[in-house]
Structure 1
Amino acid sequence: MKSAFIVSTALLGVLLGTHALADDDCSEPVSDWQPRETLRQHVEQQYGWSVQRIKVDDGCYELKATDRKGNAIEASYAPASLRLRKLEIHFGDNGDARDYLNRPGSE
């Protein structure tokens, strides 16, 4: 009885862990994807980023770029909607997180 409980608990943990990992993937149909160049133009015009690379990973567009201050940007976008899914900013010496936060009166 005790070993059956341990096995079922372990199996449940594996299943839940697999489901959590799958949530990081994009699942939009390839036929709906927008071209990478559209994403490149959007982030360059909207944010002033200089894009070094856009690749596909787990069904998402993954972008590497630098901002106007030279901070390294890593971002993940849904390829059909171009909705931002994840953003990492590696600030250099001149970096300031306030550049990326909405502040009252900044608009």
Structure 2
Amino acid sequence: MKSGFIASATLLSLLLSAYALADDDCSDPVSDWQPRETLRQQVERQYGWSVQRIKVDDGCYELKGLDRKGNAIEASYSPASLRLRTLEIHFRDDGDARDYLGSPLTE
């Protein structure tokens, strides 16, 4: 009985993990996508980021660059709405997360 419960719990955990991973993909129809250059201009104007590249990964725009203080950033955007989906910041030794707390990025 106990092994059946453990097997069921493990299977449920795997299914939920797979669902969570699948949710990371963007599913916007390609016909609705905005140009990458529009995203580049938006983040440079709005946040002062320096964009190094924008590529497509799992149906999303994946942006890599530097913020205005030289911290490395990786961000994922929905290609149709250009809505921020994920943001990863690799702070330099003198970097400070307070620059992002309470900013329009998190509101």
Q: Structures share a fold, TM > 0.5? A: yes
| TM-score normalised per structure 2 | 0.82
Q: Which contiguous aligned blocks of 4+ residues in structure 1 show a shift greater than 2 angstroms?
A: 1-18
Secondary structure at the aligned position of 1:27 is classed as coil
Q: 1:7 to 1:40 in 2, by over 3 A?
A: same
Corresponding residue number in structure 2 for 1:49: 49
**Counterpart AA for 1:49:** W
Cα pair 1:75 1:85 within 8 Å, conserved? yes
Cα pair 1:72 1:90 within 8 Å, conserved? yes
Hey, what's the Cα distance between the residues in 1 that align with 2:85 and 2:23? Answer: 11
Matched, 1:94 2:94: yes
Unaligned runs of 5+ in 2: none
Cα pair 1:69 1:94 within 8 Å, conserved? no
Paired residues for 1:9-24 under 5 Å:
12-24=12-24
Deviation sequence 1:14-64 (CA, Å, 0-9, x none):
433322211110111111000000000000000110000100000000000
Corresponding residue number in structure 1 for 2:28: 28
> Root-mean-square deviation (CA), in Å?
2.0
Unaligned runs of 5+ in 1: none
Secondary structure at the aligned position of 1:19 is classed as helix
**Based on CA coordinates, which of the two structures has the bigger radius of gyration?**
1
Corresponding residue number in structure 1 for 2:75: 75
Q: 1:4 to 1:92 in 2, by over 3 A?
A: closer
Count, aligned residues: 103
Q: 1:43 to 1:4 in 2, by over 3 A?
A: same
Hey, what's the Cα distance between the residues in 2 that align with 1:13 and 1:91? Answer: 33
Q: Give 1:10 shift.
A: 5.7
